[in-house]
Structure 1
Amino acid sequence: MTENRKPEIEAACCTGCGRCVAACPKRLLTLEVAGYRKHAVLVRPRDCDGCLACLSACPVRAIS
Structure 2
Amino acid sequence: MKTLIITCVIGLLTACSNEEIYSQIQEDQRRACLDLPQTATDACLRQYSPSYQEYEESRQKTTKHL
How does the TM-score come out when normalised to structure 1?
A: 0.26
Structure with larger Rg = 2
Higher strand share: 1
The higher relative CO (CA closer than 8 Å, separation ≥ 6) is in 1
Please give the TM-score of this superposition, normalised by the length of structure 2.
0.26
